[in-house]
Structure 1
Amino acid sequence: MLHFENDYSEGAHPNVLRRLIDTNSAQLTGYGEDECSVEAKRKIAQACGKPDADVFLLVGGTQSNQVVISSLLTSYEGVVAADTGHVSMHEAGAIETAGHKVLTIPGVNGKIEADALERFLAAFFEDPNHDHMVFPGMVYISYPTEYGTLYSKDELTRISSVCHRYDLPLYADGARLGYALACPQSDLTLTDIAELCDVFYIGGTKVGALCGEAVVFPGGNAPAHMLTMIKQHGALLAKGRLVGAQFDALFTDDLYMRISRNAIETAASLREALIERGYRFYIDSPTNQIFIILEDSALARLAKDVIFSIWERFDDEHTVIRLATSWATKQSDVDALVALL
């Protein structure tokens, strides 16, 4: 069976496992204060070009989104996101259960547009009844988006400018950040992200780690008592070393970016084969997520040999499916999938 349903089906990169094994018997301080975590945070801050950044290591993506959003909002505020954003669709109400509304605006190819954001915010504050409404308290994007699309540097700069004009923090979900940065079509760097966003996270779970994400406040601007809030949300490991050691390995010798490129290269190979065979694409995604439109009658046939994600209905006779590559995808698996297509 071929697995193309997501980018986290494998365990961890051998270097990550090796770092865990090498530090396994060491008696280390808990809650992210151990040597591995401290070194990982230093390397991450350095890679971001922000040596004074506040970096926190959390257990997963949903927890990271919930913690960051709830830590930055007051009780009467919500988070602005694209209607197709991860927190809008696939977070199981994690944001809402923390007491905050997701304020959606129409996205274009998965992205928020600066002009649409400006109109949304202006309309809110011009409404004479806005004191009776949920206030927009921050803006959420993901890079890449839920549809694998990319913000350009100009697009992100314009969004950042709108956010700062309204004094709203801009937060980037980076669950697949490595795959976005490794994409040849990306003109954004990690230092650009750190410059333009008030907070973001670097995904480990989908990019070579067993688990874990690194939340970065690049300006050293983390809310007071952030560690306490992380623990309150169940996102703090007593054995913080487990995430620390993994990120220490990922940010040694550029491993994070090197393995991210594999996902992009194998996805490009698959995309080229799909184009050659005349498949219809739902959206033009240059990253590791490929969305194609299949006749419903073809789904069962493909499912005999391939595990893929059902994304959404396209029409009465067609379905959009997602094929995802990862840091560990082998070209031989891509070739085997292509043979089935």
Structure 2
Amino acid sequence: MMPAPIHTGSRVVRRLLAWLLFLAVALGGGAAWWLHAPLPMGSEALELAIEPGTLPRGVAQEVQAAGVRVDARILYAFFRLSGRGRDIRAGNYEIPPGTTPLTLLDKLVRGEETLRTLTLVEGWTFRQVRAALAREEQIKHDTAGLSDAALMERLGRPGAHPEGRFFPDTYTYAKGSSELAVLRRALHAMDRRLEAAWAQRASDTPLKSADEALILASIVEKETGRASDRAQIAGVFTNRLRNGMLLQTDPTVIYGLGEKFDGNLRRKDLLTDTPWNTYTRAGLPPTPIAMPGKASLLAAVQPERTKALYFVARGDGSSHFSATLDEHNRAVNRYQRGQ
């Protein structure tokens, strides 16, 4: 009896298929490992900048150029095969040690940019705001060289004085963002806060507009040593406005002196006329003198109902309030002169 013929070709095909299956499983396991393994890099976080319009291949190349020791061709292939390569967003990113290809792609698709913060402090002047922006290292200094007037024009407020027009708060921004972008957010934030405060104004307020409320709020901000005194200080100024009295508030004089102020307010300064000197000019000054916070805005439009027309600092951050000049003079002798 003759043995059955051996189909050599069939064995070869089966063996080839088996090897291909093994290779696919091996490659699949290797790919899974690669996707979840930390990308080779140093111990320091790396910065990655993706410009608008960068294609997935370019993104992979930028990752490699940033210092990640990865083959850009493999990374690009992963971006393509994931189906999310076209969803990668432009921006400035931080790649910390331990980042895997999967977490990197997630970060780039979600647009998780590296954010920095800038705090604008209540009571700051616009000069201080500009100085704070100039100190930021990771921001685009696109207001450098612009006058205040030119800056306000760039913000869409031609002819507006910048003082007090920006809301004091902490703002986040991505590396490379512009100063104008941050200022625009602060400007619109103050618009909203001021509008909300003005809508809550007392029915008998002597203030004629939201702008006047902003000016008064800035004075209250600078005069406030203790938050609990804020509404009563606003009440004193409201009473003086209603009675036609001079406001006689030192911070306005100091603001009018500008860079000439050396930290010591003298009697001659009180008599030196400027548009902001409320010892020589009646009513509110022409502009705010600083950035008021939310509490000062509300105090300006909802002042405490009081008979007080004067106040003097006690020296501990609080103020003594008086309804008459005689009482006020006694308080000045006590708290300022130690008599």
TM-score relative to the length of structure 1? 0.25
Q: Comparing both chains, which one has the higher relative contact order based on Cα–Cα distances under 8 Å and sequence gaps of 6 or more?
A: 1
Larger helix share, 1 or 2:
2
Larger strand share, 1 or 2:
1
Q: Which has the larger radius of gyration?
A: 2
TM-score relative to the length of structure 2? 0.25
